[in-house]
Amino acid sequence: MKTVAIVGVGLIGGSFGLALRAAGFTGKIIGVSSPDAAREALGRGIIDEALPLADAAARADLIYLARPIEGILSVLDEIDQSVKPGTLITDAGSTKSAICCRATEKIARGQFVGGHPMAGKEARGAAAAEATLFRARPYILTSECSQLEELIASFGARVVIMPAEEHDRLVALTSHLPQLISTALAASIGTEPEAFRVAGPAAMDLTRLALSPYEIWRDIFDTNATNIDAALGVFIAKLEGLRDELRSPRIEHEFENAAAAARRLRGSS
């Protein structure tokens, strides 16, 4: 692997470039981005050169698509004619079924493997990119690919192979549901003008996601609404169950079950 093209050099694409370098990659990294983002990525040494998509695709051995979902779908529509046969193409989109489906339709010369690093932070753009962003985090791949698995493992990430449909069902619960919960909680607290006077750590922790800009969520809702609706159904039923048992000793059992699930998530039981 001599040349890598990163399409969308923001937080995730930029962190991928930095992680590549930190893992010892000595080849060329080409960026495909807006002029401002490309300048920032060049300035930080994340990319060696900025090129238009077709030119970058033609030179790359690995193409990393790190735009929002709609942007990834658009690139998949047009990129195949530009790539060298056998070029490995992967992405970092937040839902996988729509993207993998599009890739199956449109990618023939290249080889596509869907990806999703479960990493992120509030700050955005290449300025916020970090070589360690993926470390100790799950990184989902939608099919086996030893070259990509080794690369991602070298970033310190935990590679998880999982079909696109299962990924989308699970992240509806673990990622998309938390966002909607945080947004609904902030909106609820917003109904009380005096609430900010008493807000402690719990309110702060649970409304942090509500600061996320909508633009990254539009595509997620568009491509995963059925799973998200099901996750909301499970959650609202659990919450109504707690509501019914507020004054009942049975609620202790619900707290214990939930605490056990929270510990399992942390790998500690």
Q: Does 90 bind its own copies (CB under 8 A)?
A: no
The answer to whether the beta carbons of residues 138 and 118 sit under 8 Å apart is: yes
Q: Does 66 bind its own copies (CB under 8 A)?
A: no
How many chain residues touch its own copies (CB under 8 A)?
90
Output the smallest distance, CB 81 to its own copies, in A. Answer: 32
Cα torsion 96, 97, 100, 103: sign: negative
The answer to whether the beta carbons of residues 66 and 114 sit under 8 Å apart is: no
* Interacting positions 163-182 with its own copies (CB under 8 A): 166-167, 169-171, 173-175, 177-182
User: What torsion do the CA atoms of 185, 189, 191, 192 make, to the nearest 10 degrees?
Assistant: 170
Return the residue of 18, 119, 129, 148 that touches its own copies, per CB under 8 A. Answer: 119
Q: Does 92 bind its own copies (CB under 8 A)?
A: no
Q: Does 2 bind its own copies (CB under 8 A)?
A: no
Q: Does 250 bind its own copies (CB under 8 A)?
A: no
Tokens of 137: 């985090």
Residue with Cβ nearer its own copies (86 or 197)? 197
Residue carrying the six token digits 């998880």:
160
Q: Does 230 bind its own copies (CB under 8 A)?
A: no
Q: Does 136 bind its own copies (CB under 8 A)?
A: no
Q: Does 207 bind its own copies (CB under 8 A)?
A: yes
The answer to whether the beta carbons of residues 10 and 125 sit under 8 Å apart is: yes
The Cα–Cα gap between 205 and 193 comes to: 19
The answer to whether the beta carbons of residues 127 and 103 sit under 8 Å apart is: no
Q: Look up residue 76 and give its amino acid.
A: L
Q: Of 71, 96, 95, nearest to 8 (Cα)?
A: 71
Q: Does 30 bind its own copies (CB under 8 A)?
A: no
Contact stretch for its own copies (CB under 8 A) within 11-19, 28-36, 69-77, 119-127: 119-127
* Secondary structure (3-state) at 268: coil
Output the smallest distance, CB 7 to its own copies, in A. Answer: 22
Contact stretch for its own copies (CB under 8 A) within 47-55, 98-106, 149-157, 192-200: 192-200
Output the smallest distance, CB 97 to its own copies, in A. Answer: 14
Q: Does 242 bind its own copies (CB under 8 A)?
A: yes
Q: Does 234 bind its own copies (CB under 8 A)?
A: yes
CA angle 181, 184, 188 (to 5 degrees): 135
Output the smallest distance, CB 77 to its own copies, in A. Answer: 22
Residue with Cβ nearer its own copies (81 or 257)? 257
Output the smallest distance, CB 79 to its own copies, in A. Answer: 27
The answer to whether the beta carbons of residues 56 and 30 sit under 8 Å apart is: yes
88-91 and 111-113 strand pairing: parallel
Residue carrying the six token digits 């030893």:
146
